[in-house]
Structure 1
Amino acid sequence: MASTSIVDFEKLNWIEPPVMGRQALRDVKKSIDGTFRDFTRENGEWIEAIFDPLKWFLLWLEDVFLATPWPIFMLAAAALAYLGSRSIKLALGVVAALFLIGWLDMWEDTMTTLAMVSVATIMCIVIGIPIGIWMSRSDRVQGAIVPILDLMQTIPAFVYLIPVVMLLGIGKAPALLAVLVYAIPPIVRLTNLGIRLVDKEVLEAADAFGASQRERLWGVQIPLALPNIFAGVNQTIMMALGMVVIAAMIGGSGLGTPVLRAISNQYLALGVFNGLAIVAIAIIFDRVSQAYGKRLQKHREGGHGV
């Protein structure tokens, strides 16, 4: 009876698609691969040329960071941390973290990572905030863009590395593009959310005073939405740092490269130290941006109360 049931199961054809269906699926895959391959061959050069200015800016910023003497860089980083957080403890923590990174011979890789994260964050802000504003002004636009953001946040990073590498090859430009695609959704979402959460009574008051659409946006909505926008910037930075190791696989260099080397050669100390350096940078950015966002929130609430 057992053998009969097995034979009957093998005769059933519901586990795999029919032969014609499998052949059609293979044809579709080959068609997609061939079309994209032809597209990259015909348009790869001018697509690479589009990203040349971005690559130049990244290399320039990286050279600036590397050329800056470490005491000056540490003091500048501590000053920026204090201006953002108004916390001497946090500023001293920045100095201590950077000193340890230099003492453990990870300074150059850290500067490379900081340059990539900085450029990626700037690009996310430049691109993401206008898109968020656009979404906040139209429910139809929001309905069209939200599924794209969902796809960008849920698709595995290795999947969208494939078309990036096929278009741009291996190097800093494709690594930066991968980081940008991975890190931009939070700032878009939170910019849209922050503007939509502005109190309608405040907007009605602005309209009563005769404010135009532009004045209402830049004078009322954007200032009141700044805490949410800075929360989006914070999340964007965290996601960019989380992408460092994966970006190193396609030429991103920085702290991700030693981590990959440690994985390949089972160097525990190398991987742990460079991983902790990434964590330290993430904590610094997170604490400073959160402290600045809280200060901004208190300022807005105090101004609104007056």
Structure 2
Amino acid sequence: MDWFWSFPHMNDNALRELRRAIDDGFRNFTRGYGDMIEGVFEPLRLFLIQSEWLLLNTPWPIVILAIATIAWFASRSWAIVVGSVLTLLVIGYFDMWDDTMRTVSMIFVCTVVAIALGIPIGILMARSNRLQSIVNPVLDVMQTMPSFVYLIPVVMLLGIGRVPGVIAVVIYAIPPMIRLTNLGIRLVDKDVLEAADAFGSSNWQKLKNVQMPLALPTIMAGINQTIMMALAMVVIASMIGVQGLGQPVLRAINNQYFTMGIFNGLAIVGIAIIFDRISQAYGRRLQKHLEIVHG
């Protein structure tokens, strides 16, 4: 009766051969096409290097003034502006400014890439139920797969460095961008679309002038979630050479430096709060504006 209680499984030799075949196939693929793939991502590497150089070489008062200005125009809230400035001043006072700027440049590049890829995919999903049924399971896998797993194929393809980190972070952070773009466009009132049709609007005009403006608050929520997930990936991405606040945290874990880990972890939290409050406030302002316009 032992066979009844034991779960049926593949023969050990067959399983070993299957794993070896998959691993060997992926290694051969990386050897044959790795250089070509690196060339494809070269503009991304240059974009990241330039954004990091800009933040590191701009005097800190100008950086703080720029962030305060963005916070004011996005939120119209002095509390958010003052909170952002004080957070950045504390980060600088504790000698974490350069690592913070590297992290901010990384998050900026990852968010730009996620928006550039996620919004078009979300639009296509909103236009096709069949595509939505295909993409949704892929997004489910991307959101539930342990984040460490993303590092394996990326490192095998591109090695250690900034670009593999960006790709891993984008894969981890892009699902909310796609899902909420799709949701926002699908939630646009059908009466509004029928009115646009009555005025003879083309599909492109409806998308540009009706669907995207009305879906913008939901899309902003997707951007907010993408930024938060990208920040959550910072420490893990530091394992493959991504510089920033994640590396001191990783070093603190390896060497049991309690204060280093706490300070840099709090800096990540501070940056996350700044981004979260600014993007949420801007989303609320957009929502109120649309309610006034259509209301």
* Shorter-chain TM band: over 0.9
Match of residue 124, structure 2, among 134, 139, 142:
134
Alpha-carbon separation, structure 2, partners of 1:108 and 1:13: 61
Match of residue 216, structure 1, among 199, 206, 226:
206
Unaligned runs of 5+ residues in structure 2 are none
Alpha-carbon separation, structure 1, partners of 2:285 and 2:150: 37
Match of residue 259, structure 1, among 225, 249, 253:
249
Match of residue 107, structure 2, among 101, 114, 117:
117
Count matched residues: 295
SS at match of 2:285: helix
Alpha-carbon separation, structure 1, partners of 2:92 and 2:242: 20
Alpha-carbon separation, structure 1, partners of 2:256 and 2:214: 50
SS at match of 1:233: helix
1:80 deviates by 0.6
Alpha-carbon separation, structure 1, partners of 2:253 and 2:150: 22
Alpha-carbon separation, structure 1, partners of 2:37 and 2:31: 11
User: Is the counterpart of residue 35 in structure 1 residue 31 in structure 2?
Assistant: no
User: Is the counterpart of residue 153 in structure 1 residue 140 in structure 2?
Assistant: no
Match of residue 54, structure 2, among 42, 49, 64:
64
User: Is the counterpart of residue 164 in structure 1 residue 154 in structure 2?
Assistant: yes
What amino acid maps onto 1:179 in structure 2? Answer: V
Alpha-carbon separation, structure 1, partners of 2:261 and 2:149: 24
- What is aligned with 2:281? 291
- Spell out, residue by residue over 1:211-245, the C-alpha distance to the aligned partner (whole angstroms, 9 max, x if none): 11111111111100000000000000000000000
Unaligned runs of 5+ residues in structure 1 are 1-7
- What is aligned with 2:6? 15
What fraction of aligned residue pairs are identical, expressed as a percent? 61
Alpha-carbon separation, structure 2, partners of 1:215 and 1:276: 45
Alpha-carbon separation, structure 2, partners of 1:46 and 1:17: 43
- What is aligned with 2:73? 83
Structure number with larger C-alpha Rg: 1
Alpha-carbon separation, structure 2, partners of 1:126 and 1:202: 27
Alpha-carbon separation, structure 1, partners of 2:286 and 2:225: 17
Match of residue 229, structure 2, among 239, 246, 259:
239
- What is aligned with 2:290? 300
Alpha-carbon separation, structure 2, partners of 1:67 and 1:40: 36
What amino acid maps onto 1:55 in structure 2? Answer: R
- TM-score, normalised by the number of residues in structure 2: 0.98
- Spell out, residue by residue over 1:225-271, the C-alpha distance to the aligned partner (whole angstroms, 9 max, x if none): 00000000000000000000000000111000000000011111000
- TM-score, normalised by the number of residues in structure 1: 0.94
**Aligned-residue RMSD, C-alpha:** 1.2
Alpha-carbon separation, structure 2, partners of 1:45 and 1:126: 24
What amino acid maps onto 2:13 in structure 1? Answer: Q
SS at match of 1:249: helix
User: Is the counterpart of residue 274 in structure 1 residue 264 in structure 2?
Assistant: yes
SS at match of 2:240: coil
SS at match of 1:253: coil
1:93 deviates by 1.1
- What is aligned with 2:167? 177
Question: Any residues of structure 2 matched to 1:188-199 within 5 Å, and which?
Answer: 188-199=178-189
What amino acid maps onto 2:21 in structure 1? Answer: S
1:183 deviates by 0.5
